[in-house]
Structure 1
Amino acid sequence: MIRHLAPVLLAAASLLAPALSQAQADPGSSSPPTQVFPTTPISKPGGAKWRIAYVESGDYADYPLTLGEIADGLQSLGWLRFTSERPEGLAGRELWNWLAANTESAQLQFKADAYWQPGNFDASQREPMRAAIAQRIKEKADIDLIIAMGTWAGQDMRTLGPPVPTIVGSTSDPVAAGIADSAQDSGRDLLHARVEPERYQRQLRLFHEIVPFKTLGIVYEDSVAGRTYAGISAVQQVSQELGFTITSCHAPSSSISAVAANANAVRCYQKLADEHVDAIYVTSHRGVNSQSLPEIAQALKQAKIPSFSMAGSKEVELGILLSLARADISYVGLFHAETMARIFNGAKPRQLSQIWIDPPKIALNLSTARIIGFDPPVDILLAADEVYEGK
C-alpha cells in the first residue's frame, strides 16, 4: 500500500514550477506594472507615525502566532524595538495590547483601541463590526494600515473596500474565499492577501502517492466559509484527477462555543474512523486544535487509518501521520512585514506579489506509523525533514 518516496518528492517539487511561472507571466490584466519598493524604515510625510489597526476573525491559535511573527519581522527590518521579551501563548487581543504597550518606534504605532473581532466567530457580529470600522476610519481618520487575520476578517475588509491599505494573513484560500480576485491580483488597489497556489492539491497528490487510497475522509462545516477552510474545491479537483471518492462529515463550528466546535470535530472524525475510510485528510476547522487533536489522532490510530494534516507539522507532532513540513512561520511573518514596509514606502498593496510557496518537505510521526502498521521505507525517512515520536 505504501510507495517509495524519492520519485514522489521530485514530482512534488516539479508541481511548483507551473505555479511560479504563471505568477510571473500573468500579473493580472488590471494590475499596475511591477515596481521595486524598499523596506527601509520611513516616517509619514511630516514625520508622523504610521498607525496600524488589527481585525481578526475570532479566537484561533494561528492568528496571534502569525501576528507575533509579523511584529518580529518588523523588528528585524528596523521598524520597531521590543522593550521586553515578547511573551508566547497570548490570545489576539492580549497580544495586540502587549504590542501597543511594549514597542518603541519612530515610524509606526500599534493602536491599542483599533482592534476588532466579531465575537468569537459570531456571524451575527460581522456586520456591526464592519460598521464600527468604517465609522472609525471616516470620523477619526487615524488608521493608516489594517492587518486582517483570517478568512472572515479578509472578507469583511474586502466588503468595506477596503478604505485603507490592508494586508490579509492566515487564510486557507483567499481566492476561493473571494478575498482576492486571483493569486496574482487582489482586485483592489488597497488590498494584499498572501496566496499559496495549489497548496492543498500538492498535499493531496503527495498523500495519494504515498498511500494510494480509494476513499478519503474529510470533515468540515457545511457553509461557504467552512468549505473554504477545508479546501473542498481542491479536494474535489484532485479526487476527479486521481479517481478516489470522498466521504464527508459535517461539523458545525461558527457561532457556537469553542467546546461545542471541538466536540463536533471529534464526533465527525470518530464517525469516519468507524466507517473505515482508506485515509483521512485533516482539514482546517475551528474544532481541530491542540485540545481536540490528541483525541482525534487516537481515534484514527485505533482504526489504523493513515492521516495527512492540512495545517502542517504542529498536527503531526500531536499524532497525525503525515504532512508537508511548513517553512518556519517567521518567514511568513517577514513576508507580511516586508509587504507592510513597502506599502509605507509608497507601494499600493495591489502592486506587490501575493505569492508564497512552502518547500515540499515531509513531516512524519513515527509513533503513529508504528501503531497503524505503516513501516516507512528508508527513503521516506531520509526525505523527512521533521520526524516526531510520541503522542
Structure 2
Amino acid sequence: MGRNGQSSVCPDPTANFQTVEMEMVNATQSFVRIAAAVVMLVCLSSPAMGEQRFSVGYLEAGPFWLFNEDMAAVNAYLDGQGWRDKVSFPEDAWLSPGWEEQEQWEPAARELMARDDLDLIIAAGTAATRALTAVNNQNTPILSISVGDPLAAGFVVSLEDSGIDNFTTRLEPDRYPRMFDMFHQVVEFEKLGLIYQDTESGRQYTNVDDARRVAERRGFEILEYDSLASESVEDCLAALRHLIQQGMDAFFIPSLNAFDWEQSDADQVLGYLRREGIATFARNGSRDVQAGALMGFSTVDFSQRGEFLARMIIRILEGVSPRSLNMVDAGTPKISFNLAVAHEIGFNPPFDLLAATDELYQDIVLPENRLVK
C-alpha cells in the first residue's frame, strides 16, 4: 500500500531491457536488409562472383593502322562472346616505343616478360614479335598478330607447329605468293620493282623471297633497290626514280612508313607512281587501293581475322597451351581494284578481272585520318 492508502505497482525491471533488445533486433534486421541490398547492387553491376579476370599485355614497335584494325576486330568478337569484361589491358602493360626507337624494342619486351601479373602478351607486328621471342621467358603465353608471314620470318617451324610451347600466331599460307601471281597474271608486266632495307625485317615487309620464287616460275624480272637509308617519303621517292630509270613497269607497294597514311604523306609516293604510268599492287590492301594503288587483296572486313585471333585468346586464357592451337586461317583472298587509277596510268583491265573483283573503286579517295591533308 502507498502512503495514501493506494496500492502501488512496482515497474518490471526487465521491461526496459526487452524494449532495448527489440530495438536492437529491429536495427540489426534493418542493417542486414540494407547490407543485402548493397551486395545485390554490387553483384548486378560487377562480374559474377568468382568469375576470373585476365590481364593482357600488348607490344608494338610503333603505331600502325593494321594493328589498330586487328585489335578492334578482336575486341568486337570478345564483346560479342561476353568476354570483353573479363579481359583488361593495363595501361602500363600497353607498350609502343616508336618506330625510330629500335633500341627500346627489346627492353620493352623484357619489361613485359618480367611481369608476373600478365596472363597473355600480344605482339603486334614483325618487330614486336621478334623482340618478344628474343627474350621469351618460356612461360607467359605470347600471341603474335599482324605479321605478314610468320613462317618465312622464322617465328614458327611449320604450318602445324610453332615450335615454342608458349607461342602461337595466325598463318595465311601462300598469301604473298598469290599476290605476285595475281599481279603478273592481270598486268603482264616485265620488270617488277621492289624497295626495302636490307635487313631481315626489311625483306619481310617487301616479301622479297616470295617475289623471287614467283618471278622465276612466271618469267618476269625483278628490279631490287635494297639501299634504303630510311622509310621516309624522300628516300622512297629516290629509290623509285632509280628503278624507273632501270625500266620498271610495275611496283609492289611494301609495308613501309612512307606508304602509311597515318605516318607519312603517302599521296606523294602513289601520285608519283601514277604519273609515271606504273601499275601497283598494294601489300596492305583496300585502303591503299582506294587511295591510289591499282589493285590489291581486300582488307576491308577484319571480322574474320578478329574472330580467329579472339578465339585463340579465349582458348589460351582458358588454359590451353598456345602451341597446341591451330594456326592456319585458310580464308580465300578477295580482289580490290581501282578503275580511276587504271584510267590514269593507261591500263585497260580485262573483263574477267572486273567480274571477279570484290571491291571496285570508281574514284581515288584519300583516308580521312591521313597525316597530311
Once residues 44 and 154 of structure 1 are traced to their aligned partners in structure 2, the CA distance between those partners, rounded to angstroms, is: 35
Deviation at 1:111, TM superposition (A): 1.3
Distance 1:45 1:189, change over 3 A: farther
Please show how residues 243-282 of structure 1 align to structure 2 within 5 Å: 243-250=219-226, 252=228, 261-282=232-253
| Rg larger for | 2
User: Which stretch has the larger CA shift, 110-119 or 206-215?
Assistant: 110-119
Give the number of aligned pairs: 315
* 1:1-391 to 2 correspondences below 5 Å: 47-80=51-84, 105=85, 107-135=86-114, 137=115, 141-161=116-136, 162-250=138-226, 252=228, 261-290=232-261, 291-326=264-299, 328-391=301-364
Task: Supply the AA of the counterpart residue of 1:170.
Answer: S
Name structure 2 gaps, 5 residues minimum: 1-46, 365-373
AA at the equivalent of 2:166? L
Give the structure-1-normalised TM-score. Answer: 0.75
User: What is the distance in 1 between the residues matched to 2:337 and 2:198?
Assistant: 30
Q: CA 1:69/1:270 → structure 2, altered by over 3 Å: closer, same or farther?
A: farther
- Kindly state the Cα deviation for residue 358 of structure 1 after the two structures are TM-superposed: 3.7
Aligned with 1:364: secondary structure?
A: strand
Letter in 2 for 1:287: A
Question: Any idea what the Cα deviations from partners look like across 1:170-200, whole Å, max 9, x if unmatched?
Answer: 1121122222222221111111111111111
Q: After superposing the two structures, state which structure 1 stretch, 156-165 or 264-273, moved more.
A: 264-273
Give aligned-pair identity as a percent: 31
CA distance in 1, matches of 2:94, 2:299: 29
Deviation string, structure 1 residues 204-260 (Cα, Å, up to 9, x no partner)? 11111112222110111111110011111111111111122211223647xx6xxx6
**Partner SS, residue 333 of structure 1:** helix
Unaligned runs of 5+ in 1: 1-42, 81-104
TM-score when scaled to structure 2? 0.79
Distance in 2 (alpha carbons) for counterparts of 1:251 and 1:334 = 39
Pair 1:192–1:327, CA change in 2 (3 A) = farther
Contact 2:157 2:163 in 1 (8 A): yes
- Quote how far apart the aligned CAs of 1:327 are: 6.0
Question: In angstroms, what is the RMSD of aligned CA positions?
Answer: 2.2
1:131 aligned partner, one-letter code? R
Shift, 1:377, TM fit? 3.0
Q: Distance in 1 between matches of 2:110 and 2:198?
A: 27
Whose RCO is larger (CA < 8 A, sep 6+)? Answer: 1
Does the 8 A contact of 2:228 with 2:239 survive in 1? no
